[in-house]
Amino acid sequence: MDYMGNKEYWDKKFIQRSDKPLSPETALIDNIKYFKEGSVLDLACGDGRNTLFFLKRGFNVTAVDFSNEALKRLQRFVKKLNYSVDTRQINLSVDKALKDIKIFDNIVINHYRLSKNNLLDIKNHLSFSGILFVSGFGHKHKTCGKIRKEDLIKPTDFDVFNDSFELIDYIENEDDRGFFVTYIFRKK
């Protein structure tokens, strides 16, 4: 699914951003204790504020987005810090979008809503006891022009998991930006 807008919308947004990465997601920082040492797949990574956070903590990161402008910025930030990252330009709205992606210890989906078909495939890309972290605007968020109803993460999104994941934490937050949810799953 396209989140908030199409590739053109996002490319333009990233071209207009200042030359500094944003700070990492607070929900990630607060919950880093759940992550397994090793590798991270950052899906819909944008220009990589969270990828940079993981690189600095010694994880190997593969970062995926459909915006080449976002990935170009991420590569620039990473080079400046003397790290390296594997970036892949993939449109996550197509079925089997992860077919060429290998297996990771952790998968992060932050402020993006993955389609049910691709969520169903997530378990095939996680190692044993691998962690899936999903965070973003949740079902009680009041939609406005920017965040659309179809962008909201709903509890039923995860029905596709059946018995393959254990929910190890669920957090709700509300502030002046809206209603946020964080789901942390461990692969069984």
Ligand X SMILES: C[S@@+](CC[C@H](N)C(=O)[O-])C[C@H]1O[C@@H](n2cnc3c(N)ncnc32)[C@H](O)[C@@H]1O
Beta strands 165-175; 86-89: pairing state: unpaired
Asked if 133 touches ligand X (CB under 6 A), the answer is no
Contact 86, 74 (CB under 8 A): no
Kind plus residue range of the DSSP H or E element containing 157 = none
Point out which span in 29-37, 66-74, 118-126, 174-182 binds ligand X (CB under 6 A): 66-74
On the 0-12 / 13-18 / 19+ scale of CB atoms within 10 A, 148 is middle
Return the residue of 91, 117, 129, 143 that touches ligand X, per CB under 6 A.
91
- 46-61 residues labelled b (16+ CB within 10 A) or e (exposed): bbbbbbbbbbeeebbb
Asked if 68 touches ligand X (CB under 6 A), the answer is no
Asked if 112 touches ligand X (CB under 6 A), the answer is yes
Asked if 17 touches ligand X (CB under 6 A), the answer is no
Point out which span in 2-10, 117-125, 165-173, 175-183 binds ligand X (CB under 6 A): 2-10
Q: Return the ∠ at Cα 139 (arms to 135 and 142), rounded to 5°.
A: 110
Point out which span in 29-37, 46-54, 140-148, 154-162 binds ligand X (CB under 6 A): 46-54
Query: Site residues (CB under 6 A) for ligand X?
Result: 2-3, 10, 25, 44-46, 49-50, 65-67, 70, 91-93, 110-112
